[in-house]
Amino acid sequence: MEPLSIDEIRGSFVNSTRSLVKAMTPPPGLTELPWESLDFLGWRDPKAPNRGYLVVQRDGGVTGIALNTQASTKPRRGTGLCDLCNTAHQITDVALFAARRAGKPGREGNTVGTYICADLACSLYLRGLRDLDVPQGETISPERRIDRLADRLDTFVSRVLT
Protein backbone atom coordinates (compact mmCIF):
# COMPACT_ATOMS: atom_id res chain seq x y z
CA MET A 1 0.00 0.00 0.00
CA GLU A 2 1.20 3.51 -0.78
CA PRO A 3 1.54 5.94 2.17
CA LEU A 4 -1.48 8.19 2.68
CA SER A 5 -1.87 11.58 4.29
CA ILE A 6 -4.53 12.29 6.88
CA ASP A 7 -6.34 14.48 4.33
CA GLU A 8 -6.40 11.62 1.80
CA ILE A 9 -7.72 9.28 4.49
CA ARG A 10 -10.43 11.69 5.65
CA GLY A 11 -11.52 12.37 2.06
CA SER A 12 -11.84 8.66 1.21
CA PHE A 13 -14.84 7.68 3.34
CA VAL A 14 -17.88 6.59 1.33
CA ASN A 15 -20.26 5.59 4.12
CA SER A 16 -19.89 8.21 6.83
CA THR A 17 -21.04 11.73 7.58
CA ARG A 18 -18.67 14.67 7.44
CA SER A 19 -19.05 15.24 11.16
CA LEU A 20 -18.07 11.64 11.99
CA VAL A 21 -15.07 11.81 9.66
CA LYS A 22 -14.03 15.10 11.25
CA ALA A 23 -14.33 13.54 14.74
CA MET A 24 -12.32 10.46 13.68
CA THR A 25 -9.05 9.93 15.52
CA PRO A 26 -6.32 9.32 12.90
CA PRO A 27 -4.37 6.07 13.08
CA PRO A 28 -1.58 6.28 15.65
CA GLY A 29 1.91 6.63 14.22
CA LEU A 30 0.66 7.28 10.69
CA THR A 31 4.10 8.24 9.35
CA GLU A 32 5.82 5.22 10.93
CA LEU A 33 3.42 2.55 9.64
CA PRO A 34 4.92 -0.37 7.67
CA TRP A 35 3.10 0.75 4.48
CA GLU A 36 4.90 -1.77 2.27
CA SER A 37 3.44 -4.58 4.40
CA LEU A 38 -0.16 -3.31 4.44
CA ASP A 39 -2.88 -4.51 2.10
CA PHE A 40 -5.21 -1.98 3.73
CA LEU A 41 -5.04 0.54 6.52
CA GLY A 42 -7.21 -0.50 9.45
CA TRP A 43 -7.48 0.85 12.98
CA ARG A 44 -9.80 1.21 15.94
CA ASP A 45 -10.64 4.68 17.21
CA PRO A 46 -9.17 5.02 20.73
CA LYS A 47 -11.77 7.70 21.58
CA ALA A 48 -14.66 5.56 20.31
CA PRO A 49 -13.70 1.88 20.92
CA ASN A 50 -16.74 0.52 19.07
CA ARG A 51 -15.68 2.32 15.90
CA GLY A 52 -13.09 1.15 13.38
CA TYR A 53 -11.88 2.28 9.99
CA LEU A 54 -10.69 0.44 6.92
CA VAL A 55 -9.00 2.27 4.01
CA VAL A 56 -8.06 0.50 0.77
CA GLN A 57 -6.45 1.55 -2.46
CA ARG A 58 -8.48 0.28 -5.41
CA ASP A 59 -9.29 1.32 -8.95
CA GLY A 60 -6.67 4.06 -8.87
CA GLY A 61 -8.20 5.73 -5.82
CA VAL A 62 -8.67 5.37 -2.10
CA THR A 63 -11.86 4.06 -0.48
CA GLY A 64 -12.52 4.43 3.24
CA ILE A 65 -15.13 2.42 5.12
CA ALA A 66 -16.33 3.35 8.62
CA LEU A 67 -17.08 0.27 10.74
CA ASN A 68 -18.99 -0.30 13.96
CA THR A 69 -18.81 -3.18 16.41
CA GLN A 70 -20.11 -3.94 19.88
CA ALA A 71 -17.93 -4.71 22.84
CA SER A 72 -18.60 -8.08 24.41
CA THR A 73 -19.87 -7.78 27.97
CA LYS A 74 -18.82 -11.24 29.07
CA PRO A 75 -15.67 -13.23 28.44
CA ARG A 76 -15.98 -15.92 25.82
CA ARG A 77 -13.83 -18.93 25.11
CA GLY A 78 -13.05 -20.64 21.86
CA THR A 79 -11.60 -19.81 18.50
CA GLY A 80 -12.82 -17.34 15.90
CA LEU A 81 -11.91 -16.91 12.26
CA CYS A 82 -11.43 -13.63 10.39
CA ASP A 83 -13.47 -13.61 7.19
CA LEU A 84 -10.93 -11.41 5.41
CA CYS A 85 -7.58 -13.07 6.13
CA ASN A 86 -8.84 -16.47 7.33
CA THR A 87 -6.65 -16.23 10.43
CA ALA A 88 -7.72 -18.09 13.57
CA HIS A 89 -7.75 -16.13 16.83
CA GLN A 90 -9.08 -16.41 20.34
CA ILE A 91 -12.80 -15.61 19.98
CA THR A 92 -12.32 -12.27 21.76
CA ASP A 93 -9.77 -11.23 19.10
CA VAL A 94 -12.31 -11.46 16.25
CA ALA A 95 -15.18 -8.98 16.04
CA LEU A 96 -18.31 -8.66 13.97
CA PHE A 97 -17.96 -5.32 12.18
CA ALA A 98 -20.90 -3.67 10.46
CA ALA A 99 -20.48 -1.04 7.75
CA ARG A 100 -23.27 1.22 6.67
CA ARG A 101 -23.80 0.90 2.90
CA ALA A 102 -22.78 3.90 0.80
CA GLY A 103 -25.38 6.31 -0.57
CA LYS A 104 -29.13 6.02 -0.26
CA PRO A 105 -29.16 2.40 1.05
CA GLY A 106 -26.93 3.45 3.95
CA ARG A 107 -29.06 6.48 4.74
CA GLU A 108 -32.01 4.08 4.90
CA GLY A 109 -30.17 2.02 7.52
CA ASN A 110 -28.82 -0.86 5.40
CA THR A 111 -25.54 -2.38 6.55
CA VAL A 112 -23.07 -5.08 5.59
CA GLY A 113 -21.30 -7.12 8.26
CA THR A 114 -18.39 -9.50 8.49
CA TYR A 115 -16.03 -10.96 11.09
CA ILE A 116 -12.61 -9.30 11.04
CA CYS A 117 -9.52 -9.39 13.25
CA ALA A 118 -10.53 -7.13 16.15
CA ASP A 119 -7.38 -5.01 15.77
CA LEU A 120 -7.80 -4.80 11.95
CA ALA A 121 -4.20 -6.01 11.47
CA CYS A 122 -4.85 -8.80 8.94
CA SER A 123 -1.86 -7.81 6.76
CA LEU A 124 0.55 -8.10 9.68
CA TYR A 125 -0.73 -11.54 10.71
CA LEU A 126 -0.39 -12.91 7.17
CA ARG A 127 3.19 -11.71 6.93
CA GLY A 128 4.20 -12.97 10.39
CA LEU A 129 4.79 -9.42 11.65
CA ARG A 130 2.35 -9.86 14.52
CA ASP A 131 2.22 -12.94 16.74
CA LEU A 132 -0.78 -15.26 16.91
CA ASP A 133 -2.04 -17.07 20.02
CA VAL A 134 -3.80 -19.83 18.07
CA PRO A 135 -1.94 -22.36 15.91
CA GLN A 136 -2.79 -21.97 12.23
CA GLY A 137 -3.71 -25.08 10.27
CA GLU A 138 -3.35 -23.66 6.77
CA THR A 139 -0.58 -24.98 4.57
CA ILE A 140 -0.84 -22.57 1.64
CA SER A 141 1.88 -20.00 1.05
CA PRO A 142 1.73 -16.51 2.56
CA GLU A 143 1.61 -15.09 -0.98
CA ARG A 144 -1.55 -17.08 -1.74
CA ARG A 145 -3.09 -15.98 1.58
CA ILE A 146 -2.30 -12.34 0.71
CA ASP A 147 -3.97 -12.77 -2.71
CA ARG A 148 -7.01 -14.28 -1.01
CA LEU A 149 -7.15 -11.33 1.42
CA ALA A 150 -7.15 -8.91 -1.53
CA ASP A 151 -10.07 -10.79 -3.15
CA ARG A 152 -12.12 -10.91 0.05
CA LEU A 153 -11.37 -7.29 0.85
CA ASP A 154 -12.49 -6.23 -2.63
CA THR A 155 -15.70 -8.24 -2.22
CA PHE A 156 -16.46 -6.60 1.14
CA VAL A 157 -15.82 -3.08 -0.17
CA SER A 158 -17.95 -3.80 -3.24
CA ARG A 159 -20.80 -4.93 -1.01
CA VAL A 160 -20.60 -1.64 0.90
CA LEU A 161 -20.57 0.36 -2.33
CA THR A 162 -23.56 -1.40 -4.00
By residue count, the chain amounts to: 162
Q: Are 88 and 133 in contact (CB under 8 A)?
A: no
pLDDT of residue 131: 83
Q: What is the pTM of this model?
A: 0.90
Give strand ranges (E) for 46-128: 48-58, 61-68, 79-81, 88-90, 94-100, 111-117
Whole-number Å distance between alpha carbons of 81 and 88: 5
pLDDT digits (tens, 9 = 90+) for 69-94: 986 656 677 888 999 999 988 888 99
Using the predicted structure, report yes or no on whether residue 119 has a pLDDT greater than 70. yes
> Cβ(153)–Cβ(146) under 8 Å?
no
3-state secondary structure of 17: coil
pLDDT recorded at residue 139 = 79
Q: What pLDDT, in 10s, does the model give residues 121-141? A: 999 999 989 888 777 777 788
Q: How many percent of the chain have pLDDT more than 90?
A: 75
Q: What does the buried/exposed string (b/e) look like for 86-117 if buried means 16 or more CB atoms within 10 Å of the residue's CB?
A: bbbbebebbbebebbbbeebbeeeebbebbbb
